[in-house]
Amino acid sequence: MTSDSVIEIPGIERRHQRRRLQLIEVGVVALVALILIFLMPAVLPSVRLNQMGRFLALAIAALGIDLIWGYTGLLSLGHGIFFALGGYALAMHLQLAPIETGGLPEFMNLYGVTELPWFWKLFDSFGFAAVAVILIPGLIGAILGYLVFRNRIRGVYFSILTQAATIVFFNFFNGQQKLFNGTNGLTNYKTLLGAVVNAPQTQFVFYTLTVLFLAATYGLCRWLTQGRFGNLLIAIRDDESRVRFTGYNPTGFKVLVFAISAGLAGLAGALFTLQTGIISPKAMDIAFSIEMVIWVAVGGRASLVGAILGALVVNFAKSLLSEQFPEIWLFFQGALFLIVVTVLPDGVVGWMRSQGIERLTSLERPKPVLTYPSLEEDPEVQRERENLGARD
């Protein structure tokens, strides 16, 4: 009988099928990246292209949030810390790059600093700064995560702790005028590796890099969220104590994912800083950290494409709306959040997955009547139906 083979596809064939799907996905990602790199500059005016670049950088941070929140179920309201740390790491190098070794950044002269602080010296090397962009947020994330997760702090307590951490970091960077120029942040970048930062060609290189990093990040997240590791993250999200009784210690998994997510926020912060030309403690504002969560909520938790789309759509809406009606944006953002929470709890992509496609296609043709959806999908029922049909 063929009914078994329909359900139990032989291993080799299944592997081939998976391989084919993987190739298709790689192709689609490459195509989107090529469109972004080659077509967009021709279509969009340069202001919008610069915005696009910045929002794509934010999408990298959104992917990180999706890993830790959408898949692992830990709502972090402090990713602004990691974003800003990545931005500061690169900005410190940008401050030092144009001046000769041992010289001081402009703002330090203003505050009467006479010698470069020791840790600033490290950032004189581009290699160090580039690695620090990901490693410093990642390490801080790992330490913070270890302390929190080892003590089994979860849920809303975890969220509150991340917010408290945000305030600590904000106050520190805001208050250290001699070290980090306080409220003003680090700005006025001139050169990076000999290239003029604000030149259009350099900005285009940054844009291209952002697209490539976003594609790579998507690949990384895709790899992490599939297979046993990805399933385990979902298991931790859905029932952590069950995971323990199965013999896994969730702490290590959560620390790793939190650190990766922090590192991604750092990378996003650095790319964002390059394209906006400033990093200030404002990025550690709690409101910004919550905004990041809203992007993912709008796009769809536990959907990587959703996180990227959410970041792009919300940010473009923000810039378009606040250009037209500067006072209205915050109301709109609040309304958006309410709509997502009440009507679209799984975000736009989640809605499309569950019922959106059906709704849209049913606009054209009458909807098939499914009285008992779970029964319709039951292979035993289907087999019975087929066998009955064969007998007639």
Partner 1 sequence: MNGKILETENVTVSFDGFKALNNLNFSMDAGELRVVIGPNGAGKTTFLDVITGKVQPTQGRVLFKGRNVRRLSEEKIALLGIGRKFQTPRVYLNLTVRENLELACNRRKDVFSTLFGRPPASERSTVAGLLETIGLTLKANFPAALLSHGEKQRLEIGMLVAQSPDLLLVDEPVAGLTDEETENIGELLLALAESHSILVIEHDMEFVRQIARKVTVLHEGSVLCEGSIEEVQNDPRVIEVYLGETLATADQ
Closest CB 82 distance from partner 1, rounded Å: 21
Q: Which of 85-93, 100-108, 184-192, 231-239 is the region at the interface with partner 1 (rule: CB under 8 A)?
A: 231-239
Residue 365 touching partner 1 (CB under 8 A) = no
Binding segment (CB under 8 A) for partner 1, from list 16-24, 45-53, 166-174, 233-241: 233-241
End-to-end CA gap in the chain:
17
Binding residue for partner 1, selected from 42, 127, 228, 372, defined by CB under 8 A: 228
* DSSP states of 11-76: HHHHHHHHHHHHHHHHHHHHHHHHIIIIIHHHHS-HHHHHHHHHHHHHHHHHHHHIIIIIIT----
Least distance from partner 1 to the Cβ atom of residue 168, Å: 28
Place of tokens 């979860």: 154
Token look-up 């962009």 returns 133
Q: Is 371 in the site for partner 1 (CB under 8 A)?
A: no
Closest CB to partner 1 among 89 and 297? 297
Q: Is the CB of 46 or the CB of 387 nearer to partner 1? A: 387
229 binds partner 1 (CB under 8 A): yes
Output the smallest distance, CB 37 to partner 1, in A: 31
Instruction: Kindly state whether residue 377 participates in binding partner 1, applying the rule CB under 8 A.
Output: yes
Lookup result for tokens 């909520």:
297
* Residue 7 in the binding site for partner 1 (CB under 8 A): yes
Cα(212)–Cα(175) distance, integer angstroms:
36
Residues in the chain: 392
The number of angstroms, rounded, from the C-alpha of 80 to the middle of its chain's C-alpha atoms is 12
**Residue 292: other Cβ atoms inside 10 A:** 27
Total interface residues for partner 1 by CB under 8 A: 28
In Å, what is the CA distance from 156 to each residue of 21, 191, 262, 298, 359?
Answer: 38, 44, 19, 20, 35
- Which of 19, 190 has the CB closer to partner 1? 19
- Report in angstroms how near the CB of residue 109 gets to partner 1 at its nearest: 48
| Dist CA 89 CA 36 (whole Å) | 27
Q: Is 13 in the site for partner 1 (CB under 8 A)?
A: no
CB of 117 to partner 1, least distance (A): 36
To the nearest whole angstrom, how small is the minimum distance from the Cβ of residue 378 to partner 1?
Answer: 8
CB nearer to partner 1: pick between 106 and 238: 238
Kindly state the tokens that stand for 279: 């990093």
The pairs formed by 336-340 with CB atoms below 8 angstroms and a separation of 24 or more are: 336/294, 336/298, 337/294, 337/297, 340/294, 340/297, 340/298
153 binds partner 1 (CB under 8 A): no
In whole angstroms, the minimum distance from the beta carbon of 297 to partner 1 comes to: 18
Minimal distance, residue 96 CB to partner 1, in Å:
37
Q: Nearer Cβ to partner 1, position 268 or 302?
A: 302
CA distance 112 to 236: 52
Interacting positions 236-295 with partner 1 (CB under 8 A):
238-239, 241-242, 244-249, 252-253, 256
192: β partners: 195
The sign one gets for the Cα dihedral 151, 166, 97, 116 is negative
Q: Check binding of 372 to partner 1 (CB under 8 A).
A: no
- Phi, psi torsion values for 315, nearest 5 degrees: -70, -40
Q: How far is the CB of 93 from partner 1 (least distance, A)?
A: 32
- CA atoms of 61 and 59, how far apart (whole Å): 5
What does the binding site for partner 1 look like in residue numbers (CB under 8 A)?
7-8, 224, 228-229, 231-232, 234-235, 238-239, 241-242, 244-249, 252-253, 256, 374, 377-380, 383
